[in-house]
Structure formats: structure tokens, C-alpha cells
């Protein structure tokens, strides 16, 4: 019999595991002849040590071995390196064992005595199956990447549509100009201060950006009224959270946190609330210092204490972008 051909330097590695040296040599000869670089192990424990040192494409392993048998080795290989193809070889023709091996992740199962050509064919089939599995996985990964790219593009288009709505609102209500961007910024700062996840932070910032969209449905004479609002006018202007929720519900179905912000941004424990830091046609704004003092005073009543604590940490650390001028806190 001619000697095995010398594998190329970049040949795939095959680990031959058997406690019979003569059988190992026969399999080494065969696998080198078909282009593999071969590594030998006399039992399952030696095989695991070899696998820790080498990247292996294929394992040919006896089933019955001392210390760690073929099924135990198969389980470890599947746990450590699931892309490695494993073909088990045994002298016992037992259908139950064969089914168990295949169910545990073996690519094939060969019984002794075997013909060299049979091993060659089975190995080719196992490697082809491995190739198809990896190819299919790559296809799904590329598909996920494509879907993620399309999702990002759809989100960009959606945000552009939301920005158009916001622009339309700014024409109608000059007060809103810059207000939503500041709210979104403050929301993001507080979310980071509270250690929220990056995805939840993104949704909260989005909710802050679009929270006043419902003012599109509020009459301009009410929005810009220079005098104090009547009870009816106040009730009318306070419909804007629900109006905004109805407008955005079809667009933000996958981001319920943002929708909750739109619907509930004026609510407190008793269901009421009002902005304090900006001029309105019917009243002057509070200073930033006065607003912060009022928020602290109402912690636990109107406002969640955990959020208030996060806000105070952010204020003290200068993360809210507030500066002190002439004894008054103002937005930077």
C-alpha cells in the first residue's frame, strides 16, 4: 500500500480517537490521503486535550473507550466547538446507540469492520453536511443583517416624518420651538443617570422628542391666548397628550415606552400636572432654581422620587446643561 500523501500547510485538521493504535494508524493513513492533517488521541480525555491545542474540522472517534467514551466526547465537542463534524465508529451494531449518537449531534455512525472506501464516502458526506449547515447559518446571519439595515432605514424615515410633524407644530406654537429637543435631552440624561439600558434610553429620548405632537390638534387661539385660560380652554389644551397618542400609535407600536410618554407626560399621581420653566402667553416662567425646588418639594407626590434623585445628581454634576447666571439657574 502506498504511503499517505503529505497534506498542504492549510489542510483541515482531523482528530483520530481510538484506543487501538493499529486502527488509528489505518484511519490516519486514509484521512491524510484525502487531504487532512491528522492528530491522534488514545481516549476521550486525550482528545479533549488535543482539541484545546488545535482547531479541528473533523473528529473520527471510537465509541467504546476507557476514561471518556465516544458519546461523552461528542457531548463535550458539541458544547465547546459545535461546528466540528463528528463521526463515531463502533464494533457494536446497535440501532439504539446509533440513534442516540445522531440525536446528540454526530454527523454519522460507522460500524466495524468497515471498508476504507466506506469511511471515505461517509467522511465526504459528513463534511458536505457541515458545509451546508455553515452556509445556511451564514445565509441567516446575512439575512438578519439585511433586516436590521432595513429596520434602521425605516426608523430613519419614520423619524423624518415625526420631525415634519414637529416642524408643523413649531409654526403653530412658537413655544414648542426647541422645547421638545430639550425634553428629549433631559430624558436621556436622567435615563443614563438611572442606569437604564441603551434601547430603553433610545425609546425614552424618542418619547421626549415627540411628546407634544398632539398640540397640532389644539386651537391656535387657545395655544397663544395671552390671558389666563378658562376651564373649557384648559380642558381643551390638555387633550393634546391623548391626541398625540392617537396620531403616533400606528407609528410607535413597537416602542410602547415612547407612546406612554406621549400619553402620560402631564400626569401625576392625581392625574394633573403643568410645565413650570418656560414663559407661556398667560404666565411668566419660574426660574430654573424655583422649578427645581418645586420638583424636590413635590417628590413622592407629583414626581417619582427615584427620578427626582437622578435629576438632582445630574444637576449637581452639570449633566443637564444648566448653568448659574446672576444667582439664577438657566438652560445652557
One domain for residues 77 and 198: no
One domain for residues 114 and 203: no
One domain for residues 240 and 97: no
Strands 85-90 and 13-17: unpaired
Residue 109's CB: how many other CB atoms inside 10 A?
22
Confidence of residue 160 (pLDDT cuts 50, 70, 90): confident
One domain for residues 253 and 303: yes
Which residues have CB under 8 Å from 93's CB, separation 6+? 111
Task: Determine, yes or no, domain membership for 115.
Answer: yes
Write down the pLDDT at residue 15.
93
Task: Determine, yes or no, domain membership for 164.
Answer: no
Q: What is the DSSP string of 103-115?
A: HTT-SEEEESS--
Burial 259-272 (b: 16+ CB within 10 A, else e): bbbbbbbbeeeeee
Query: Residue 263 is part of a domain; what is its CATH number?
Result: 1.10.3210.10
One domain for residues 180 and 324: yes
Query: Residue 64 is part of a domain; what is its CATH number?
Result: 3.40.50.2300
Confidence of residue 201 (pLDDT cuts 50, 70, 90): very high
Number of domains in the chain: 2
Write down the pLDDT at residue 283.
52
Question: Could you report the per-residue pLDDT of 133-151, keeping only the tens digit for each?
Answer: 888 888 888 888 888 888 7
Task: Determine, yes or no, domain membership for 272.
Answer: yes
Q: CA-to-CA distance for 66 and 111, rounded, in angstroms?
A: 19
Write down the pLDDT at residue 10.
67
Q: Mean of the pLDDT values across residues 209-226? A: 83
Crossing angle of helices 305-316 and 288-297, rounded to 10°: 150
One domain for residues 133 and 178: no
One domain for residues 129 and 189: no
Confidence of residue 7 (pLDDT cuts 50, 70, 90): very low
Question: Could you report the per-residue pLDDT of 272-312, keeping only the tens digit for each?
Answer: 656 744 445 545 566 778 888 888 888 888 888 899 899 89
Burial 146-168 (b: 16+ CB within 10 A, else e): eeeeeeeeeeeeeeeebeebbee
One domain for residues 97 and 203: no
Confidence of residue 197 (pLDDT cuts 50, 70, 90): very high
Task: Determine, yes or no, domain membership for 1.
Answer: no
Q: Mean of the pLDDT values across residues 201-213? A: 88
Residue range(s) defining the domain that contains residue 255 = 173-331
Amino acid at each position: 500500500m502506498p504511503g499517505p500523501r503529505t497534506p498542504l500547510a492549510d489542510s483541515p485538521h482531523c482528530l483520530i480517537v481510538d484506543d487501538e493504535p493499529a486502527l488509528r494508524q489505518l484511519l490516519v493513513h486514509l484521512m491524510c490521503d484525502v487531504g487532512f492533517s491528522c492528530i491522534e488521541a488514545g481516549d476521550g480525555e486525550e482528545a479533549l486535550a488535543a482539541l484545546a491545542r488545535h482547531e479541528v474540522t473533523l473528529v473520527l472517534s471510537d465509541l467504546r473507550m476507557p476514561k471518556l467514551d465516544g458519546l461523552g466526547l461528542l457531548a463535550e465537542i458539541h458544547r465547546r466547538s459545535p461546528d466540528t463534524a463528528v463521526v463515531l465508529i463502533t464494533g457494536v451494531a446497535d440501532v439504539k446507540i446509533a440513534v442516540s449518537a445522531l440525536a446528540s449531534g454526530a454527523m454519522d455512525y460507522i460500524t466495524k469492520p468497515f471498508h476504507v472506501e466506506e469511511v471515505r464516502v461517509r467522511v465526504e458526506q459528513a463534511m458536505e453536511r457541515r458545509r451546508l449547515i455553515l452556509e445556511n447559518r451564514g445565509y441567516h446571519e446575512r439575512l438578519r443583517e439585511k433586516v436590521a439595515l432595513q429596520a434602521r432605514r425605516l426608523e430613519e424615515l419614520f423619524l423624518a416624518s415625526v420631525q415634519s410633524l414637529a416642524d408643523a407644530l413649531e409654526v403653530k406654537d412658537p413655544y414648542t420651538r426647541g422645547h421638545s429637543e430639550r425634553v428629549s435631552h433631559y430624558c436621556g440624561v436622567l435615563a443614563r443617570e438611572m442606569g437604564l439600558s441603551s434601547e430603553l434610553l433610545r425609546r425614552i429620548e424618542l418619547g421626549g422628542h415627540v411628546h407634544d405632537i398632539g398640540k397640532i390638534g389644539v386651537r391656535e387661539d387657545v395655544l397663544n391666548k395671552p390671558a389666563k385660560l378658562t376651564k373649557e380652554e384648559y380642558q381643551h389644551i390638555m387633550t393634546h397628550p391623548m391626541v398625540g397618542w392617537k396620531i403616533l400609535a400606528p407609528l410607535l407600536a413597537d416602542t410602547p415606552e415612547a407612546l406612554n410618554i406621549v400619553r402620560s407626560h402631564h400626569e401625576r399621581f392625581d392625574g394633573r400636572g403643568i410645565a413650570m420653566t418656560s414663559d407661556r402667553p398667560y404666565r411668566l416662567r419660574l426660574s430654573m432654581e424655583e422649578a427645581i425646588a418645586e420638583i424636590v418639594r413635590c417628590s413622592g407626590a407629583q414626581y417619582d422620587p427615584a427620578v427626582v434623585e437622578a435629576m438632582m445628581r445630574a444637576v449637581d454634576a452639570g449633566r443637564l446643561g444648566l448653568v448659574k447666571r446672576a444667582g439664577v439657574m438657566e438652560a445652557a
